């Protein structure tokens, strides 16, 4: 009698499954976290075969056959494995999940009562990088970069003059920027609200915005230049004073000056005096030669 009720229950479950079609489940997981995809709940009956498939060409296939205790893994990343024992709970575990894992998965279980199928749609959520800046014209820019899905941006206080830009990247992420001007506002600060399924952030910025640093950089640069110029001028003056002292000492010792000076020295020739001239006349005088001429 008990076996009859079990067969009727399995037949009824199979009939409902055929009428309603395969079950469907949506799974949203943040990038870098763990994704767990479930199989049909047929734990009351021992399974014969369980197969995980990712709906794409040449994608992952993970299977387990209970009678042979055999596992088959084809084109699956090392990040994809059974969450528990496939005999008891053949859920699929993906960790850490990334954008490439996004897609449709199917789990098929075969037991004595038939085939049971469950589809899962995996969506990977990427939190954006949020920044808030302001320029000298008091235009604030709130940017939510590379988020999936795109983040929503709002302002406090609310402004009807805000403009928005959006850039869609090839990997499915979206960068959204919102601009708002506060030229005639007397508010002390501006606040940006970023709303996203993975994170909600609030950033505030004081008004007026920080003035550009160019004048300060010029002042600092001039001060640095003046300091360096002063040091160089002191070195030049010190060197010239040293050279002047050296030249002054060298005038008292011409021989020392000539050896130490790097410049060629011009030596003036002395004009012959009358005495030296007379000595040169009689330099070759030979009295004997005069007597011989007689």
Q: Do 9 and 99 belong together in one domain?
A: yes
Contact 147, 126 (CB under 8 A): yes
pTM for this model (two decimals)? 0.60
Q: For the chain, what is the domain count?
A: 2
- Is 282 or 100 the better-scoring residue by pLDDT? 100
Beta-strand pair 114-125/23-30: parallel
Q: State which residues form the domain around 167.
A: 129-206
Average pLDDT value for the chain: 76
Token couple for 181: 């001007």
- Is 85 or 212 the better-scoring residue by pLDDT? 85
Binning pLDDT at 50, 70 and 90, where does residue 94 land?
A: very high
Q: Give per-residue pLDDT as tens, 244-259.
A: 776 766 555 444 444 4
If we measure between CA atoms, which residue out of 44, 86, 88, 89 comes closest to residue 64? 86
- Rounded to whole angstroms, how far apart are CA atoms 123 and 95? 14
Handedness of CA 9, 14, 18, 20 (dihedral sign): positive
Lowest mean pLDDT among 35-39, 190-194, 203-207, 265-269: 265-269
Of 125, 153, 178, which residue sits at a domain end?
125
Q: Do 121 and 136 belong together in one domain?
A: no
Binning pLDDT at 50, 70 and 90, where does residue 87 land?
A: confident
Of 206, 240, 265, which residue sits at a domain end?
206
Q: Do 106 and 133 belong together in one domain?
A: no
Strand ranges inside the chain, DSSP E: 23-30, 35-37, 47-54, 61-65, 70-74, 80-82, 92-94, 103-111, 114-125, 129-134, 139-147, 152-156, 163-168, 174-181, 189-195, 200-206
Query: Can you give the pLDDT at residue 281?
Result: 45
Query: Can you give the pLDDT at residue 131?
Result: 95
Binning pLDDT at 50, 70 and 90, where does residue 162 land?
A: confident
Of 125, 153, 171, which residue sits at a domain end?
125
Q: Do 111 and 144 belong together in one domain?
A: no
Q: Do 21 and 74 belong together in one domain?
A: yes
Query: Can you give the pLDDT at residue 16?
Result: 45
- Say how many C-beta atoms besides its own lie within 10 A of residue 240's C-beta: 10
Cα 69 to Cα 30, 49, 64, 82, 251: the distances in Å are: 34, 10, 7, 14, 109
Q: Do 120 and 182 belong together in one domain?
A: no
Residue 7 in any domain: the answer is: yes
């Amino acid at each position: 009698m008990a076996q009859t009720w079990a067969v009727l229950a399995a037949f009824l479950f199979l009939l409902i499954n055929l009428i309603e079609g395969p079950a469907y489940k949506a799974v949203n997981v943040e990038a870098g976290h763990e994704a767990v995809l479930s199989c049909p709940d047929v734990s009351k009956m021992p399974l014969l075969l369980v197969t995980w498939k990712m709906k794409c060409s040449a994608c992952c296939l993970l299977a387990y056959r209970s009678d042979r205790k055999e596992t088959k893994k084809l084109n699956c990343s090392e990040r994809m494995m059974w969450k528990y024992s496939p005999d008891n709970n053949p859920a699929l575990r993906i960790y850490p999940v990334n954008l490439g894992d996004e897609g449709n998965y199917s789990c098929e279980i075969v037991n004595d009562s038939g085939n049971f199928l469950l589809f899962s749609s995996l969506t990977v959520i990427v939190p954006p990088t949020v920044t808030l800046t302001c320029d000298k014209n008091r235009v604030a820019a709130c940017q939510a970069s590379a988020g999936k899905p795109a983040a929503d941006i709002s302002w406090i206080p609310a402004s009807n003059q805000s403009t928005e830009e959006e850039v869609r990247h090839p990997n499915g992420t979206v960068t959204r920027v919102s601009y708002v001007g506060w030229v005639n506002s007397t508010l002390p600060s501006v606040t940006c609200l970023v709303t996203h399924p993975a994170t909600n952030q609030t950033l505030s910025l004081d008004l007026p915005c920080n003035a550009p640093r160019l004048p300060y950089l010029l002042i600092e640069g001039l001060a640095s230049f003046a300091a360096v110029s002063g040091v160089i001028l002191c070195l030049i003056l010190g060197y010239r004073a040293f050279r002047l002292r050296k030249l002054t000492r060298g005038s008292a010792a011409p021989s020392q000056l000539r050896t130490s000076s790097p410049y060629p020295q011009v030596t003036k020739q002395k004009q012959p005096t009358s005495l030296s001239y007379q000595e040169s006349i009689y330099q070759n005088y030979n009295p004997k030669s005069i007597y011989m001429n007689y």
